[in-house]
Amino acid sequence: MENTSPSTSRKRQRNDEPEPEPELELNDAQFLTLEENFNFSDTLVALRMMCAQFPHIEKVSIQPFILRSQIYSSVKDRTQVDRDLESLRRERVIRTFKLSTGQDDHAIMFLDDYFSQ
């Protein structure tokens, strides 16, 4: 003895066609801005903050650079810093320079600043 009501035995037909997604028109500048906004890491935030604090002197045309040791002192996990820096280098966001100070010093500069120099 099955007790089925007519309302539960009827199934709604599905549409096999997927709903069209609205197309977004993004130019390159908007796409890069969105990409930068979604790529947050402690290392990148530390780089941006230190770059913003770099002194700007009108007579000297040096672009901001940050030492790797400065980032190590700001971010807790050094291994994550190394991974983030390598990832940013591969994505062509930063450029790393080996300094000839006799120690294992590296300077980090944003690629845009490097090209504008």
Q: Cα–Cα distances in Å, from 38 out to 29, 52, 112, 115? A: 15, 20, 19, 24
- Residues 6 or more apart in contact with residue 59 via CB below 8 angstroms: none
Per-residue model confidence as pLDDT tens for the chain (117 residues) = 555 555 566 777 766 665 555 554 545 554 455 455 555 678 888 888 888 888 777 777 778 889 999 999 999 999 999 999 999 999 998 999 998 887 888 999 988 888 887
From the CA atom positions of the chain, what is the Rg in Å?
26
User: Which CATH code is given to the segment(s) 40-117?
Assistant: 1.10.10
Domain spans in the chain, listed from the N-terminal domain onward: 40-117
Residue 108 pairs with which residues in a beta bridge? Answer: 66, 96
